[in-house]
Amino acid sequence: MTDPRSRIPSIDALLATPAAETLVEDLGRAQVADALRNAVEQMRTAIGRGDDETTSSVEESDWYIRQAAALLVAASRPSLRRVINATGVVLHTNLGRAPLAEEALEAMRSAAIYSNLEFDLDEGVRGSRYVHCVRLLRDLTGAEDALVVNNAAGALVLSMSTVGLGRGVAASRGELVEIGGGFRIPDVIERSGASLVEVGSTNRTRPADYEAVVSSSEAAAILKVHRSNFRITGFTEEVSVADLVGIGTQYDVPVVHDLGSGLMLPAEDLRLPQEPTAAESIAAGADAVVVSGDKLMGGPQAGVIVGKAALIGLMRRNPLCRALRVDKVTLAGLEATLRLYANPGRVRERIPTLRMLSLESEALRAVAEEVAGMLTDQDVPCAVVPTKGAVGGGTYPGVELDSWAVELDGPNGTQALANTLRHGSPPVVGRIVDDRLRLDVRTLLPGEHQLVVACVVGAFAADGMHSV
């Protein structure tokens, strides 16, 4: 019997087919040839394992072209892709945290080409990238000046380097947190060129603890860190920003407050527990306040520092500032996001993060029922169930968001359905609870519920075929 491998077409023969020539015109001969070689290897493997169904196509050039085309499509797919977040975690770090407002997206697209990033259009001379968000941040927080760098961790490193290079920085033992990815406050301080001076205990730190180290010149600055990603309860005590500012003023040492979350609205406006804001810290007299642009502020990833003009000026002149500088696209997105805060009556509608956090339970239930109804019409079994979400992004630990979800179980089981949805276009990411897949509607963007329905219907069809 003739070995089927002898009937495999040559690469040159496959490249000469009209379908392959079309691929070559679009992608180039080298890429298409590599993909065809991969398809040939697939056929050889199928023959070796006795796969009669595949082997029956051994002489069909169309089979090799289809395999090659699929490989080329997969290879051309971006590694960073849009994902539908149906987890109920609003600021999902693994899914990119804050989804951006349309105004921010448009501003970023516009700035992606030539822009006046460092050009003064009025004077026709070189300008500074650091002027673009200053006025808006000053208006929002009451600070004298502001500086934007690439992220909040970078902002903290820059702040510590500026106030503590070669000197000590006092921080409470109860605030020496890890903020994610193994990134710990003690390490940040040390890498900035400052030395950490620990004060107080894990659960109780008093004003006298700070006074002892600044009065002796052991510490040349004070750092207060908001414990945004965990809580200490019970027999506790901590020193307020205002009290720290009093100590700083008495001993002429700056006070830096690392707030993290970037909340710019009163927490009650979002029906969330009280959370300190940059404006409150500035009003209390902090010399510098560090916040994130991509958490509760609702903008792109950025590190925002607001504070007194003299200290912010020193930070701009710090050589680290250039290493940590923010790019034009991020600045444009952040500026557009900050502008939305000028209209407090509409900001919760325009910034997706704030809109999601503001959604009421009954509105969410209505969306979940609409999705479930559309799925039922497509013969997809499902149920509408109450569920719990989270703010996410290292903010509001322990705070659960009442929400509603569509609950599913696929033809091949829950895990198989979750896997199929994650590999869809676009991928849909939900949560498995009690061996059922839940798609929480709180974190769906406007219009995404129809797309979710299409993805789920397609996933059921794919899993159904696989289970036959």
CATH number of the domain residue 315 falls in: 3.40.640.10
More confident residue, 410 or 157: 157
Number of domains, the chain: 3
Q: How confident is the model at residue 345 (pLDDT cuts 50, 70, 90)?
A: confident
Distance of CA 411 to the CA centre of its chain: 33
Q: How confident is the model at residue 321 (pLDDT cuts 50, 70, 90)?
A: very high
pLDDT at 462: 82
Examine the fold and report which residue of 321, 350, 379 is the final residue of a domain before the chain moves on: 350
b vs e for 102-133, b when ≥16 Cβ sit within 10 Å of the residue's Cβ? Answer: ebbeebbeebeeebeeeeeeeeeeebebbebb
pLDDT at 77: 85
In sequence order, what are the beta bridge partners of 417?
A: none
Q: Which amino acid is at 342?
A: A
97 assigned to some structural domain = no
The mean per-residue pLDDT over the stretch 427-443 comes to 96
| pLDDT score of 234 more than 80 | no
CA-only gyration radius of the chain, Å: 28
Least confident window among 101-105, 179-183, 225-229, 370-374 = 179-183
pLDDT at 455: 96
pLDDT at 228: 61
Both 326 and 358 in one domain: the answer is no
pLDDT at 233: 64
Residues 67, 84: Cα–Cα separation, whole Å: 28
More confident residue, 280 or 229: 280
Both 146 and 249 in one domain: the answer is yes
Both 306 and 238 in one domain: the answer is yes
The mean per-residue pLDDT over the stretch 381-388 comes to 97
Residues 158, 146: Cα–Cα separation, whole Å: 13
**Spatial CA neighbour of 175 closest among 209, 215, 214:** 209
Q: What's the distance, Cα to Cα, between the start and end of the chain in Å?
A: 33
**Helix, strand, or coil (residue 407):** strand
Decide if 59 contacts 14 (C-beta within 8 A).
Answer: no
| Edge-first strand listing for the sheet containing 255-260 | 145-149, 303-307, 288-292, 255-260, 221-225, 168-172, 195-199
User: For 95-219, where are the E strands, in sequence order?
Assistant: 119-120, 125-126, 145-149, 168-172, 195-199
Both 56 and 205 in one domain: the answer is no
Phi then psi dihedrals of residue 291, to 5 deg: -140, 165
pLDDT at 229: 57
Both 210 and 254 in one domain: the answer is yes
Q: How confident is the model at residue 463 (pLDDT cuts 50, 70, 90)?
A: low
Q: Write down the pTM of the prediction.
A: 0.87
412 assigned to some structural domain = yes
- Tens of pLDDT, residues 11-70: 999 999 999 999 999 999 999 999 999 999 999 999 999 888 999 998 999 999 999 999
205 assigned to some structural domain = yes
Both 88 and 129 in one domain: the answer is no
More confident residue, 246 or 6: 246
**Would you state the structure tokens that stand for residue 138, as one six-digit string?**
């000053």
pLDDT at 394: 81
Q: Which amino acid is at 148?
A: V
Q: What is the DSSP string of 34-86?
A: HHHHHHHHHHHHHHHTT-HHHHTTTT-HHHHHHHHHHHHHHHHS-SS---EE-
| Edge-first strand listing for the sheet containing 436-440 | 89-91, 383-392, 395-408, 436-440, 431-433
The mean per-residue pLDDT over the stretch 414-418 comes to 94
Both 284 and 176 in one domain: the answer is yes
pLDDT at 227: 76
Domain of residue 45, residue span: 4-76
Least confident window among 100-114, 216-230, 256-270 = 216-230
| pLDDT score of 84 more than 70 | yes
CATH code for the domain of 430: 3.90.1150.180
pLDDT at 396: 87
In sequence order, what are the beta bridge partners of 384?
A: 406
Examine the fold and report which residue of 350, 378, 395 is the final residue of a domain before the chain moves on: 350
pLDDT at 176: 87
Q: How confident is the model at residue 202 (pLDDT cuts 50, 70, 90)?
A: confident
| pLDDT score of 236 more than 70 | yes
Both 171 and 311 in one domain: the answer is yes
Please provide the average confidence, as pLDDT, over all residues in the chain. 92
- Tens of pLDDT, residues 286-312: 999 999 999 999 999 999 999 999 999
Both 208 and 342 in one domain: the answer is yes
User: For 249-318, where are the E strands, in sequence order?
Assistant: 255-260, 288-292, 303-307
Both 361 and 342 in one domain: the answer is no
| pLDDT score of 466 more than 80 | no
Both 460 and 368 in one domain: the answer is yes
Examine the fold and report which residue of 319, 350, 381 is the final residue of a domain before the chain moves on: 350
